[in-house]
Structure 1
Amino acid sequence: MSTVVIQRPRPDAPAPRPEDEPIVKNVFFWPDIDPADVRDVMRIEGTITAPRLRLAIKSAIAEVNAELFTFRRDQMADGYQRLEDVPGEQLDGESVRVSEYRNAVSAMTMATLSEQYRSFDTTATGGRKADVVEASIGELWRNARNAISNVAERSHCIIGLL
């Protein structure tokens, strides 16, 4: 007599992440963005498909680039052709501005994906995950804004009229 054990996949287990996601090419001044780095830094599960992540990254890049348009124009007028050429602090062999740019794109990407989380998984566990993620969406947007301000060396203060 033989016993065969067949494991059923766990419905709440994260899907494996896609391999070999191509780098998202940016415009000439700004650094390219590697989707694998965004996945690792923001702990994005494999349930987010490569095309959906790529679209969110491109959207975040467009938004960050638009918000930093004046900064880029001013730096190019001063003779700097790439962000890494702009003088500034270096940490771990990389310009702090480049690191903050990547932080801005990563945080904005994650915020965008988090806002859409319920459409990825509407099961009970997906709903619970969405509730947890929803609490951090505001923090992600704040982190993106702060990183953008750090690139341009602007104040983090946002004031609104009531």
Structure 2
Amino acid sequence: MSFATFTEDPQPDSPPEGATEDITIDQLWWPKISLQQARKVVRVHGTVSDDRLLDALTAAAMSVNRDLRAWRDSVLPGQPEGMTDEQAFLYLRAVHFHAKAELLERYRDFDSSGDYDRRAEAATDNAEDARRIERWSVSELTGRPRLTVELM
């Protein structure tokens, strides 16, 4: 009889080695996006490099900004300096979870054992959950009701 034990998490929560300073994405009017904050909020493992996280966050910001273009144009005259704290929280939540969904979809493990299907299904579920949180954050920000419909 043999036992397998693990003494440490194979996917560390800390940023990769060499990542000492925080990298941010600065945008006009929209809130600043911090890689360190994103890692903490959505629990991005340390195996995801800063370059990959930056790419995912940039794509997420572009997508969320497109989704919110009409809303921003309607509130911009009354808020020329930027979003309120509540609006910024919802915006960053949408961006962070969009990026997490993309990372989960892009970086599935390859495994030749029977565990691959189970882990791939769990990653798909997690990616879908992250997309739902993103959509709900955008809906709350714009004042639209939340609605999730699933065809069976």
* TM tier, smaller: 0.7 to 0.9
2-structure distance, mates of 1:133, 1:158: 20
2-structure distance, mates of 1:115, 1:39: 17
Which residues in structure 2 correspond to 1:10-159 (within 5 Å)? 13-15=10-12, 16-18=14-16, 19=19, 20-25=21-26, 27-84=27-84, 95-118=85-108, 121-123=109-111, 127=116, 129-157=119-147
Contact conserved, 1:21 with 1:50, CA < 8 A, in 2? no
SS in 2 for 1:157: coil
2-structure distance, mates of 1:39, 1:130: 22
2-structure distance, mates of 1:147, 1:63: 13
1-structure distance, mates of 2:111, 2:127: 20
SS in 2 for 1:154: coil
Unaligned runs of 5+ in 1: 1-9, 85-94
SS in 1 for 2:24: coil
Which whole-Å deviations, capped at 9, do the CAs of 1:97-144 have from their partners, x for residues lacking one?
A: 1111111001100000111122xx424689464442222211111110
Identity over aligned residues, as a percent?
24
Deviation of 1:56 after TM superposition, in Å, equals 0.3
Contact conserved, 1:115 with 1:134, CA < 8 A, in 2? yes
Deviation of 1:13 after TM superposition, in Å, equals 1.6
2-structure distance, mates of 1:160, 1:140: 16
Which whole-Å deviations, capped at 9, do the CAs of 1:28-68 have from their partners, x for residues lacking one?
A: 11101001111111111111111010000000000000000
Q: Residue 41 and residue 160 in structure 1: after superposition, are their counterparts in 2 closer, same or farther (change >3 A)?
A: closer
Which whole-Å deviations, capped at 9, do the CAs of 1:1-49 have from their partners, x for residues lacking one?
A: xxxxxxxxx8962255132241111x21110100111111111111111
Aligned-pair Cα RMSD in Å: 2.7
2-structure distance, mates of 1:43, 1:49: 13
Whichever of the two has the greater Rg, that structure is 1
User: Under a length normalisation based on structure 2, what TM-score does the superposition of the two structures give?
Assistant: 0.79
Match of 2:4 in 1: none
Aligned length: 139
SS in 2 for 1:83: coil
